Structure 1
Amino acid sequence: MVAAGLAGLLLAYSNGANDMLKGVATLIGSGTADLRRALGWAIATTLAGSTASIVLATGLAETFSGRGLVADAVASDPAFLLAVSLGAALTVLLATRFGLPVSTTHALAGSLVGAGLMATGGQIRWSSLAGSFVVPLVASPCLAISLTLALYPAILAIRRGLGVSGTDCVCIGPGTDTTIGASGGAAVVARTGAVIETGQIDECSERLGGGMVGLRASAAVNALHYLSGGAVSFARGLNDTPKMAAILLASRALAPEGGFALVAASMAAGGLLNARRVGETMATKITGMSPGQGLTANVVTAFLVILASRMGLPVSTTHVSVGALFGIGLLTRTARPGVIASILAAWVTTLPLGMACAAAAHGILRHIL
């Protein structure tokens, strides 16, 4: 059981290495943040999501325990648990080595099937697999692309209708003194309160003087972009932590709180040490993007992943976030087909590779454990 727990932590490490920068890749790609700052923000908000998952997303831990797919006795067998963890971890680490963003959820689903087939001689509840895994995983990128294609043009139309540009600002200036009357050599002066103006930053500065405090539209977009990146990373921690904690909980190696905490720490370590290759692919190789486009992709991703976590649906943060980037690329016609084709090929092979690795691992482990 200890070995199964350690393999579960290896899986969490591989998840951090492949997934940690996915929520903030748009910050890097749009030039809003550098790698170091974006990675720190991603780790902090992912850890917050992992903590929240203890309360908000425990249903996912049950989904990925293997119960319902195989018999309960098989789901708690050390060889089964170890094979599932090793199969999924090896699959994700291999993709990370080549800088390809793949789904840990897909790798886990494949590993559950591969180890389950070996452990039961083919006695798997296929209906459970289709309803709990296949439909959400296939639907999530399609939903992300569709929402992005609908949302970004709407935001762009609103911005153009209002005539807002990146150099516009909302500015607050000091009050002014105005003479309203004079009598017998004495003047009556009225002082207005703070003045709020909108317009170009240079125009506001000229009208309101040096005491002006203002917020540029571009700065507001950047702030929202940071928040959206944090929201995606929070959602990822919320959605992914229970999936890997399921292995530790099934092995009974730790109490639930301890299992979730160790998974979160392992994910953070994987992100800190090995997240750069996949992050570079998502930030710069799929499509070019502006801060506003990156913000739109993150809003779509955060919305779908948080909604799925609350519903106990195992959507892939990878498929959702990359799907949103595909949508941006389609809209702006800057998508790079060769990179997208490589990613899609990796997605198609993730589940069968996880199956093969887990089946091979179980075939060896059942003669050892």
Structure 2
Amino acid sequence: MTQESGDPRHLETLDRDLARYSALEMATSYVARPMVGPGIGLVFILLAGISAMLFFGDPSNSLIVVIAASLGAYMALNIGANDVANNMGPAVGANALSMGGAIAIAVVFESAGALIAGGDVVSTIAKGIIAPESMGTSSVFIWAMMAALLSAALWVNLATWIGAPVSTTHSVVGGVMGAGIAAAGISAVNWPTMGGIAASWVISPVLGGAIAALFLWLIKSRIIYRDDKIAAARRWVPVLVGIMAGAFSSYLSLKGLKQIIQIEMQTALLIGAGTGILVWLVMIPVIRKQSHGLENRNKSLKVLFGIPLVVSAALLSFAHGANDVANAVAPLAAIVQASQSDSFTDAVSIPFWVMVIGAFGISFGLFLFGPKLIRMVGGKITKLNPMRAYCVALSAAITVIVASWLGLPVSSTHIAVGGVFGVGFFREWDAERRIRKSRLTMPDDASYAPEERRRRKLVRRSHFMTIIAAWIITVPAAASLSAIIFLSINAALG
């Protein structure tokens, strides 16, 4: 060993250098961490394009299909990042599921719903928003669908970034409408259908919120506010779980399994009624056993709602995968068909490899980018517990059934978030009612000051206004962006 290497001052210099390198490694790791998700997402998009090249047989139009498959994969990632949070957010916010458990369940059930029951045949492309024959040529139609897919994906990506859960269905509808107007004029749009979609902006959240609030009132009045909460829970929880089982049986019969077997509303309701009665009878001894030894307090009630809440989140994910995967793959399937046969006015069948891109894209999007919106829906709008989250999940299934019965178009995103709002606003109303009631037995100076009552609002108004604004501008924003993209493509190729 040399004298220099043994010098304590040299060792101190070496320690400082090592500390600098360590700090540099930590800083590099911190900066690189946010890039992991986008990096994996980009790899998936590239793999989707390569898969399209392998499975699509016509080499003359393979480049168009590769680009379309990449855009479809990008859209599927954004659906997973934004839309799936509506199903899992309440369960995570209520601490019935961990973030990892929620993502695992959603990945499995979203993929199963998409692959098992998601092979829909789109009779008129993008739910009849535009008349395909007005496009003139297959090339114009293909570029219009490309613009619609890209604009919808960009808008949902932006909404996820600002933390606003928006309807991916409305994003695609806006994209198709904007490209259709840019390509063939205003007359190409089916305006009665657009009017129904606009009506759903109001109908979906209001109906979802009202039903969620109704069930929360039922739970509070029949269980929580009773002297013997456990005895009340033994009587009512089996009934509530039976209602949930019946609602989801009807919901899945109508929506989740419609691609496997077509079931009419009356048959679906009979299936739901039979399933609900059976589950109610089964749950009576189960809840009696589960409630044995529980203390007579609200915290004990959370145990009884935990498993039903997890099951409802899984079933919602299955139905969502079966229905909303079409938002990513229907325009892609239309492009594939138009590229293969030059036919763009007939019904569009979705190939299996296209469904796989949609299913895996939703799962990857949820895994990589979903936690932000899950936390927003589950905890940042209003505080949820298992009972409140259960009401949100149940309202989602019942609202879809009621809307189908009335023939109203609804958005699953708006229903779920509307349910969260409904629960929160009901809690505010109930708290105000109890304060007014307590004034009869307390002196005037014991009531809350106006400032304190404003502070005690149970729904965060900033998130409420952000989400409502995002809902209102989704269709116009996606339509404008789509029109700009289509005109840019047209100018570049013309």
Same fold (TM over 0.5): yes
2:196–2:408 contact (8 Å) kept in structure 1 = yes
Post-superposition shift, 1:250? 0.5
Post-superposition shift, 1:200? 6.3
1:236–1:305 contact (8 Å) kept in structure 2 = no
Mapped to 1, the partners of 2:315 and 2:102 lie a distance apart of: 13
Range that drifts further, 149-158 or 328-337: 149-158
Aligned to 2:475: 351
Post-superposition shift, 1:86? 0.7
Mapped to 1, the partners of 2:484 and 2:408 lie a distance apart of: 28
Mapped to 2, the partners of 1:243 and 1:197 lie a distance apart of: 44
More helix by share: 2
Highest relative contact order (Cα 8 Å, sep 6+), 1 or 2?
1
Post-superposition shift, 1:306? 6.5
Deviations 1:186-209 (A, max 9, x none): xxxxxxxxxx976964489xxxxx
Matched, 1:17 2:81: yes
- Out of 304, 309, 324, the position equivalent to 2:419 is 324
- Out of 481, 485, 488, the position equivalent to 1:361 is 485
Q: How does 1:6-155 map to 2 (within 5 A)?
A: 6-54=70-118, 58=120, 61-62=122-123, 64-65=125-126, 67=128, 69-72=130-133, 74=135, 77-155=141-219
Q: How does 1:254-293 map to 2 (within 5 A)?
A: 255-293=350-388
Amino acid at match of 2:466: S
Aligned to 2:463: 339
CA RMSD of aligned residues (A): 3.1
1:87–1:111 contact (8 Å) kept in structure 2 = yes
2:329–2:355 contact (8 Å) kept in structure 1 = yes
Aligned to 1:183: none
SS at match of 1:85: helix
Aligned to 2:69: 5
Amino acid at match of 1:329: G
1:95–1:101 contact (8 Å) kept in structure 2 = yes
SS at match of 2:230: coil
When residues 166 and 234 of structure 1 are mapped into structure 2, their CA distance, relative to the original with a 3 A threshold, is farther
Aligned to 1:302: 397
Among all aligned residue pairs of Structure 1 and Structure 2, give the percentage whose two residues are the same amino acid. Answer: 27
SS at match of 1:22: helix
Deviations 1:75-97 (A, max 9, x none): 95111010000110010001111
SS at match of 1:101: coil
Post-superposition shift, 1:138? 3.2
1:231–1:302 contact (8 Å) kept in structure 2 = no
Mapped to 2, the partners of 1:262 and 1:315 lie a distance apart of: 26
2:103–2:367 contact (8 Å) kept in structure 1 = yes
Deviations 1:227-274 (A, max 9, x none): 111122222212211232211221126953222222111111111111
Unaligned runs of 5+ in 2: 1-63, 236-286, 338-348, 429-457
Deviations 1:322-353 (A, max 9, x none): 00000010111221111111111111121111
Matched, 1:242 2:306: no
When residues 166 and 112 of structure 1 are mapped into structure 2, their CA distance, relative to the original with a 3 A threshold, is farther
Name the TM-score, length of structure 2 as normaliser.
0.61
Range that drifts further, 342-351 or 73-82: 73-82
When residues 300 and 162 of structure 1 are mapped into structure 2, their CA distance, relative to the original with a 3 A threshold, is farther
Amino acid at match of 2:98: D
Mapped to 2, the partners of 1:109 and 1:102 lie a distance apart of: 13
Amino acid at match of 1:164: K
Deviations 1:275-302 (A, max 9, x none): 1211111111100011111011011113
Mapped to 2, the partners of 1:153 and 1:145 lie a distance apart of: 12
Amino acid at match of 1:145: G
Mapped to 2, the partners of 1:313 and 1:72 lie a distance apart of: 27
SS at match of 2:118: helix
1:8–1:244 contact (8 Å) kept in structure 2 = yes
Aligned to 2:317: 233
1:249–1:259 contact (8 Å) kept in structure 2 = yes
More strand by share: 1
1:22–1:279 contact (8 Å) kept in structure 2 = yes
When residues 331 and 7 of structure 1 are mapped into structure 2, their CA distance, relative to the original with a 3 A threshold, is same
Mapped to 1, the partners of 2:294 and 2:352 lie a distance apart of: 56
When residues 132 and 247 of structure 1 are mapped into structure 2, their CA distance, relative to the original with a 3 A threshold, is farther
Mapped to 2, the partners of 1:140 and 1:197 lie a distance apart of: 36
Mapped to 2, the partners of 1:284 and 1:51 lie a distance apart of: 31
Amino acid at match of 1:24: M
1:21–1:42 contact (8 Å) kept in structure 2 = no
Range that drifts further, 262-271 or 135-144: 135-144
